[in-house]
Amino acid sequence: MNSSIENKFSATADELNRLVVFIGGFDPRGARYYHQLMRSESEKQHGFLEKIFYKVGQRNKISETEGMAGRHSQWLIESSSSLKKSSSDFIFFDWHDEVQKNWTEKRWSVFFQAIYTYVAIFKSKKWLTPIRLQARYTLWTLMYPLAYALLVIVLGLGIGVFFSSKTESASGAVSVCLCFLGLALWGGLALDRYIHVSWLLRILNFAHSSSLKKSPVLDERIDAMAQELAQGVQQARWREVVIVGFSVGSVQAVKLTAALRTKLAAAQSSTHSSGPGSQGEVNLLTLGNCIPLFGLFPGAGDFRRSLRDVAQDRQVYWADISSPSDSVCFGMCDVVGLSLREDGVKFARESSGPESAASGVGKKVGQWGLNPQAMCSPRFHKLFLPETYRWLRRNKMRMHFQYLMAGEIAGAYDYFELLTCPGSLRDYIEKKLVR
């Protein structure tokens, strides 16, 4: 197999010893948007740090197989200061074409689809209780579109009933009610342009629909990328591989990590290799994760199995950086425990035997496994002036994207330093972000 990834990086392999594979969220915008975002935000970060300079290189099209020419993109990220200089290769794993297939343009249709989604959620209500206990603000946010839609309908009907009471004929009263209901619905859709209710519903709808049907194209793409990465790890082409999943992309990142570890384990078993890269350590970094939402629905069994595999894999270092102030994600909570449902209960029972007790790792292994090994808050309130942070809290979409953006003042969380830090990702996170 011709490896486009290998060809792209071979010229600079001596200097670039970290590979970052980034998987974005449920966003129809592709690599061009995220490349421009990284370039502009890294310049802002340099603007107030001054001591560190970030440079984002030119975007190039790559592919992991000949059959997907030009699908993914690659660029270089560099950081330099008076004391050190480091850089990382950055692969943008492109799945925005699959997002577009599931992206409903008409907002009224988004709300209509949400009826089936909320029915499915309430059928799984027994699994909402632990979410309410650990991430109640996120649960409120997930229910907020439903409350918004009901409020608009009640408001329209209420005003309609008030004015229809002054109409003598029954048909006239009904017409008045329908007229005001229509106006209320139109106003609700217009207001949605500013409060992004349909954005939340699109994520909810996709979580539901992806549990009901598989995506062969995306699954094949993940498998092909895992195969290419496995070859690179075995050849020790990079010091470390970091798979980054942002938002809904955290779900795909878990799948890619599980697929990569499966291939590495199979290769090690078949070759009995013990040389450089044979252990196949993999770093998984999730930012603003939405994992429990996708594990909620009964049909998501395949995903829960991948999550369980990653959770108990000793060759994976998983760090989750998700803010409790970001009500669209599951920050600082038991991500795996909230996701596994009955699979997790069964796993806990099976793992509580003598083998688990003899592992010496403790109770956590017997329940959910080792991962995530680090759960950190980016402490966004430390990155902004109070006035700006108050504005940020009111804008859910903007807050959710803050993981990929610059702040106003220097703080512990720096997305660009996180990607380009010298040494290992584990050392950087545990020294700078873990509290």
Answer yes or no: is 189 within a domain.
yes
Predicted pLDDT of residue 4:
56
Answer yes or no: is 179 within a domain.
yes
Higher per-residue pLDDT: 300 or 357: 300
How does pLDDT run across 387-397, given as a tens digit for each residue?
999 999 999 99
Question: Residue 385 is which amino acid?
Answer: L
Answer yes or no: is 149 within a domain.
yes
Reported confidence tier of residue 112, pLDDT bands at 50, 70, 90: very high
Answer yes or no: is 129 within a domain.
yes
Answer yes or no: is 184 within a domain.
yes
Answer yes or no: is 6 within a domain.
no
Q: Enter the pTM of the model.
A: 0.89
Per-residue pLDDT for 328 more than 80? yes
Instruction: Specify which residues 74 forms β-bridges with.
Output: 60, 91
What does the pLDDT average to over 111-120? 96
How does pLDDT run across 125-139, given as a tens digit for each residue?
888 998 999 999 999
Question: How many angstroms from the chain centroid is the CA of residue 3?
Answer: 27
Local structure of 269: helix, strand or coil:
helix
Q: Alpha-carbon distance 148 to 194, whole Å? A: 13
Full domain range(s) for residue 117: 103-206
Strand ranges in 258-397 using DSSP code E only, listed in sequence order: 282-287, 316-321, 374-376
Per-residue pLDDT for 14 more than 70? no
User: CB under 8 Å to 412, separation ≥6 — which residues?
Assistant: 378, 379, 382, 432, 433
Answer yes or no: is 128 within a domain.
yes
Interstrand relation of 60-62 and 282-287 (parallel, antiparallel or unpaired) = unpaired
Per-residue pLDDT for 7 more than 80? no
Predicted pLDDT of residue 349:
54
Do residues 22 and 92 lie in contact, with contact meaning Cβ atoms separated by under 8 Å? yes
Q: How many domains does the chain have?
A: 1
Interstrand relation of 85-93 and 18-23 (parallel, antiparallel or unpaired) = parallel
What does the pLDDT average to over 341-364? 47
How does pLDDT run across 242-301, given as a tens digit for each residue?
999 999 999 999 999 999 999 999 988 776 655 544 556 799 999 999 999 999 999 999
- Indicate the average pLDDT of the chain: 87
Answer yes or no: is 142 within a domain.
yes
